[in-house]
Each structure stands twice: as structure tokens, then as C-alpha cells.
Structure 1
Amino acid sequence: MSEITAQPQNASQTAFRLSASDLEIWRGETLLLNGFSCHVDAGELVWLRGPNGAGKTTLMRILLGLSHPEAGQISWCGRDIREARADFLADAAWCGHQPGLRPELTPHENLAAWLPLCGRPSGRRIEEALALVGLGDRQAQPCHSLSAGQVRRAGLARLLLSEARLWCLDEPLTSLDAEGQTLVARLLADHCRQGGAALVSSHQALPESAGPIRELRIGREGTQ
């Protein structure tokens, strides 16, 4: 597997914060969170924990502006994300529980189709990103012929191409073997070490090699 190399960043652009205050979140008739506040700062790896049904994925989607809370405010660098939507979308990347790749296309074709939609040029080549996640020799295979872990790796390559400062990952360790989980840890550590940040929802403990981890608990297992 190729070594993960740092991408240069403008130091003046590394300081940022995603913050939420007094969120009220419902799922149907169930109140998931009330008066909930949190933040994610540059350089931080935040592990979002909670039991099934606590609302981890719902919260992450709301923090990204993909859904909306019943009450409360979410801001990016001090601005409401609705007002700073263009800047925020250019700075944030989402890797959902489902990779969202078309099975009939190869990893390379999927990334090539997605790249113009991400809204910014990438300093990496698609071939480089796939090599970094261990798919250098699988980039021309249709995704339906890959294992679940390999498909998840292709989804991770999208994060590298996005060059977003904020990564939001929902259950990124699912379907990955020990080597794949170590890869995720390396990607997270490298990203945060360069001044990026990551919010990760995971039922599994993140590998210690991911670096300093701040836990954010919701639901019955911990306090809000």
C-alpha cells in the first residue's frame, strides 16, 4: 500500500469550528435530543457514541445541513450554515454508512463521475487516491465484483479527493478487516494532524493510532 502523504494547506485557513447550540431533534414522534450543544474544532477527532436509535446518523446529517432540527442553531466559523452554505459545503465532506457508489461502474469511473460535483478542484489524481486506500490494482474492476470492504475503501478515496477540512464519517469501520481499520485510523490521524477535523460515528472503538480522540456521547449511555 502506498504511503499516505500530506497535502499542503494554507495556515491561515486551518482555524475553524463547527458548532451547534440548543438543538431539538425529533424522529417522527420520538424526541431524540433536546437542548443539545456540541462543537468540532480544527485538528480534532470527535467520536460520536450512543446506542442504536439514539440519533447519531440523524445528528450528523443535521450538522451537515442535510436535514434540519426543530429548534437550535448550527454555525460554521461563526456564521449560520444557512448563510454560509456555499463556504460550508466546500469545506465539508460526508462519508455515509452506504458508500453510494454505482455497482456497475469501477472505482475510477465512480470517482471521475463524482469529482466535478464536489465543487472544487482536487490536488490529487484519482489513481493516487485509490492507491492510498489500497485499491491501486482494483480501480478498473466493477464495484459489484469487489468485496464490501473494498467498496468502503473506494468511498474513503472520495474523502481524499474532496480535500475538505471537515470530514463526517458514519460507521467507517463497517466491513473492514484489521488492515482496513488501520487505514482509516491513518487517514484520520493524517487529516487532523494537517489541521483538518473529523466527526466519526462508530459502534466500534476507533483504533488508538487515530490519535487523540474526544468522545461525544448521546442517548442513555452517557450525558448530552
Structure 2
Amino acid sequence: MTISNNDLKKYSSLNRKIKRKEHQLFVVEGEKICKELIKNDFEYESIFITKNIQNKFPLSTICSKKEIRRISHLKSSSNIVAICKIPTYQINSKDKKPLIYLDNVSDPGNLGTIIRTLDWFGYKQLFCSKNTVDCFNNKSVMASMGSIFRINCHYIDFDNFQKLFPEHTIYGTTMDGENVGSIKFRKKSIIVIGNESNGVSKEIMYNINNNVRIQGYGKAESLNVSVATGIILNELAKINPQK
């Protein structure tokens, strides 16, 4: 089957956030992640494959490698691309887990890794400032390794977010806060993770109840934001590891 030129043009434009928003679609690439989207019953518009993997994805549409290359956002394209529908998520205001809020995290690979780490620790939702990178950016999707299909990402400004959870204690990650290993986090906690270079914004810092830092012992100036998030999630797991 040949994909129409109009569809090829539309799908290839999905590497831009404005076009993903316009069409409410995003691209998934690679056999492993496409298997994850099918396994999780994630809604998609089409899956396109080359003939040599037809036995692995029998309900997909066969097309040429050239057509897949036009849709692909990778330098070395896969034999499969899926066109997925961007879902509309509802915020779970009764979530018993601590809440993670990302403030202007700008690197899509970091965001994808954070999503994957949240999935590992059993989280179902993530909150992001509106200037945080798009979770459906191809690099974010790839870095999540399929966890994007299990984590609901909500983009919301901090003031409105805080109003939804007025009883929660707010912790902000800084370079000069209390050691994360010695803090007794409350069950109703919000953890704000800041921008890779500038940390938590001044506007949000005014709302922080407690500053948190990760104790370092070497000479590195800082931790990667996704690594730092993983360390904090491990500490939070000690509050109530089963829920």
C-alpha cells in the first residue's frame, strides 16, 4: 500500500510541537515501543511496517522503507512507525502517592527518562509546567521506552496545580536544602524538580515549604535532572512502598 502524499506530509510534520497539537497525533518508532503501545491498548491511527516484519505485526499496513523514512524522526529509521492519538487525561486528585512537578525541564531525553523512572516506581501521573518540553516529542517518547503509555502527563501552571492539592507539603529541589536522606517526607507531598541549568523558578520557590538537596561526595558540580529525580523517588518509596 502507498501512503497518500497528504498523509505523508502530515505525518512527517509531527516532529514539530505545533503540528502535534494541531493534528492531536504523535509518532512512535521501533519494534519494542510499538509492541508496548499495542500491549497497553494505547489508541493509534495507523501502524506502518516494511514487509520483512509483517509476521510480528500482522494487523499493520505494509509500506515502503522510503515512506517510513519520510515519517521517521530518527537519523537511522526503523522498519515500523506508529501514528498515535494524543490522549486527554483527567487529573487524579485522590492520588495517594507523592506528586512530582517538573518546572521547565527542557531536555526531551531527560523527560522521557523521568517518565520511565516514575513507571518503575509505580506512579501513574506526572505534572509539568507549561514550559516543560512536550512529552510527545519523539526523543521523550523514545527515552521513555514505552512508559509514556502508562504515565499520564498533565501540563498545568503551578498556581492551579497547587489549588488542586491544598493539603500537600511542597518540597523544592535546591543545592542548599536539607539532605534528602534525612527528610521525613509526608505522605501528602509535592516534589518540585527544576530546570537543568537554573533550578526551580523564583515564582515557584515562593511557595516551597522545604528545600531538598541530594548530598554529593565527589567533585561533579551537579546531577543530571533525571538521575536526581530517580534518587528522590527512591527516598519517597520509603513512605509507603506498596501504594
TM-score by length of 2: 0.25
State the structure with more CA Rg: 2
Name the structure, 1 or 2, with higher relative contact order (CA <8 Å, separation 6+): 1
